[in-house]
Amino acid sequence: MKLDPSSVRPFFPGLESDWIYMDNAGGSQIARPVVDRVQSYLLESNVQHGASYEPSRLATARVAAGVQAVADFMGCAHDEVVLGPSTSMLLKNLARSIESEFVPGDEIVVSRCDHEANVGPWVDLEKKGVKIVFWDPNPETLELRSEDLDPLLTRRTKLVAFTHCSNLIGTIHDVQAVTHRVRSHGAMTCIDGVAYAPHRCLDVEAWGADFYVFSLYKTYGPHCAALYGRRDLLHRLPGINHFFLEEEVPYKFQPGNVNYELTYGLTGIWDYIDAMTRGPQTTDEPRTTDDPNKALSHEGGAVALTSSRRSRLASFYDSVSLYEESLVEPLLALLRKDSRITILGNPDASRNARVPTVSFRVSDLDSRSFVEQMDEFKIGIRWGDFYARRLVDKLELDATGVIRVSLVHYNTAQEVEQLLEAMESVLQ
């Protein structure tokens, strides 16, 4: 398929604003079908789960369908999906649970390229006697190279935490190469996919991830997040819920349960993807199912639905990556030709190397001043460290950090032209 922005944009009512949104790495616009699903849940099935009466059965099935929607999105089984309010909270909860796997002297490797959400919870385990080893990015390219892990991995290494894609500079890392190296040392991986998921198809099982986390509110959905955990690990680890739920996976990792309406709203992401890849809904295959037997099982019809979904998802993101590559090239071209500007990371627009999240510095203008001048053109971009504080400190940048422009597939070539015109005006 070829992505047509004129078909995409009507699905995002927030784009009707007179502002141009290019701060999407901080949070995407929400797709209208997601809003419709949330509203439908609240108005038609806003009751507690697990009861025998019909509205409760409907509510239970709807939430199960939302969980299955995320499982299909990630490429895993429904009982390997833990939902929560944010990536930061999910990783804090995971660290709280997984600390039982460590004894004093064990080692955790953490990337200095990451958002603090996938660093801080592991550094906190130093209080338990765990040794933290930092994995620095290549000083020239700022990418994480799997071969640089070799001197860091020892027989005491139990976990390697790293980012699939830098939320600061957009560099894509070779997840499969890293997981293979780490697994050969008998250690686990915890991968932050927040900056990757809005732009590329996820396939957590094929990559060999042990844990993988991303934010659904940055992936056109509501404000919640998802954590994939390998089934055997989720069963082995102690839960953080009530003691009598210790055998309930993933419920034992979801104290207070999931947000019901937002979870059902996640099925709306598939409504959008279906519309982009398949056209109008057909009668033989529903976009989502409220049938609890299909929603909770990989048997029978659910397998066909999941397989079809995965195929469409791959097609959708292939078109997204091609389109975004063309979208970001003019921006990178402008930045490359100005000697005052330093691009952080890869200056190439290649979809194999990066997503359209671009950070840069201007030698004679601090980042905050640049962005605030762009506000006058009603173009929403951002300055700061974006919670990748350890990388910003490593690069010895000043307190205003970097200027970040983060595009997604609902942005247009015309919007990029307006961005470039505004930037040239500010840079004069």
Any idea what the CATH number is for the domain that residue 56 is in? 3.40.640.10
Residue with tokens 């030698």: 363
**Per-residue confidence (pLDDT) for residue 308, from 0 to 100:** 84
Query: Measured between alpha carbons, how far is 60 from 307 in angstroms, rounded to an integer?
Result: 23
- pLDDT over 90 percentage in the chain: 91
Q: Looking at the structure, do residues 153 and 273 belong to the same domain, yes or no?
A: yes
Query: Measured between alpha carbons, how far is 32 from 14 in angstroms, rounded to an integer?
Result: 9
**Per-residue confidence (pLDDT) for residue 278, from 0 to 100:** 79
pLDDT in tens, 71-124: 999 999 999 999 999 999 999 999 999 999 999 999 999 999 999 999 999 999
pLDDT at 291 > cutoff 90? no
pLDDT in tens, 130-169: 999 999 999 999 999 999 999 999 999 999 999 999 999 9
**Per-residue confidence (pLDDT) for residue 279, from 0 to 100:** 61
pLDDT at 282 > cutoff 70? no
Residue with tokens 């019901």: 260
Beta strands 157-163 and 188-192 are parallel
pLDDT at 286 > cutoff 60? no
Query: Structural domain tally of the chain?
Result: 2
Q: Looking at the structure, do residues 19 and 113 belong to the same domain, yes or no?
A: no
pLDDT in tens, 244-278: 999 999 999 999 999 999 999 999 999 999 999 97
pLDDT (mean) for 366-379 = 97
Q: Looking at the structure, do residues 280 and 400 belong to the same domain, yes or no?
A: no
Query: Measured between alpha carbons, how far is 13 from 130 in angstroms, rounded to an integer?
Result: 48
User: 370 is written with which tokens?
Assistant: 């640049």
Q: Looking at the structure, do residues 252 and 326 belong to the same domain, yes or no?
A: no
> Please, which residues have CB within 8 angstroms of residue 6's CB and are 6 or more apart in sequence?
none
Longest CA span, the chain: 68
pLDDT in tens, 48-67: 999 999 999 999 999 999 99
- Single out the residue in 260, 285, 313 at which a domain terminates: 313
CB distance 281 to 41 below 8 Å: no
Q: Looking at the structure, do residues 23 and 43 belong to the same domain, yes or no?
A: no
Question: Looking at residue 408, which CATH number applies to its domain?
Answer: 3.90.1150.10
CB distance 52 to 180 below 8 Å: no
The torsion of the CA quartet 404, 410, 416, 422, rounded to 10 degrees, works out to -60
pLDDT at 19 > cutoff 50? yes
Q: Looking at the structure, do residues 249 and 371 belong to the same domain, yes or no?
A: no
Q: Is the peptide bond before 238 cis (omega within 30 degrees of 0)?
A: no
Q: Looking at the structure, do residues 88 and 149 belong to the same domain, yes or no?
A: yes
Q: Looking at the structure, do residues 278 and 422 belong to the same domain, yes or no?
A: no
pLDDT at 281 > cutoff 50? no
Q: Looking at the structure, do residues 45 and 177 belong to the same domain, yes or no?
A: yes
Mean pLDDT in the chain? 93
- Single out the residue in 283, 313, 343 at which a domain terminates: 313
3-state secondary structure of 161: strand
Identify which has the larger pLDDT, 162 or 284.
162
Query: Measured between alpha carbons, how far is 78 from 249 in angstroms, rounded to an integer?
Result: 10
Query: Measured between alpha carbons, how far is 370 from 233 in angstroms, rounded to an integer?
Result: 47
pTM, two decimals, is 0.94
**Per-residue confidence (pLDDT) for residue 307, from 0 to 100:** 76
- Single out the residue in 257, 290, 313 at which a domain terminates: 313
Q: Looking at the structure, do residues 88 and 229 belong to the same domain, yes or no?
A: yes
pLDDT (mean) for 385-409 = 96
**Per-residue confidence (pLDDT) for residue 115, from 0 to 100:** 98
pLDDT in tens, 304-343: 457 788 999 999 999 999 999 999 999 999 999 999 999 9
pLDDT (mean) for 38-43 = 98
Q: Looking at the structure, do residues 187 and 201 belong to the same domain, yes or no?
A: yes
Q: Looking at the structure, do residues 299 and 414 belong to the same domain, yes or no?
A: no
**Per-residue confidence (pLDDT) for residue 254, from 0 to 100:** 97
Boundaries of domain holding 351: 5-29+319-427
Query: H or E element: which one contains 38?
Result: helix 32-44
pLDDT at 300 > cutoff 70? no
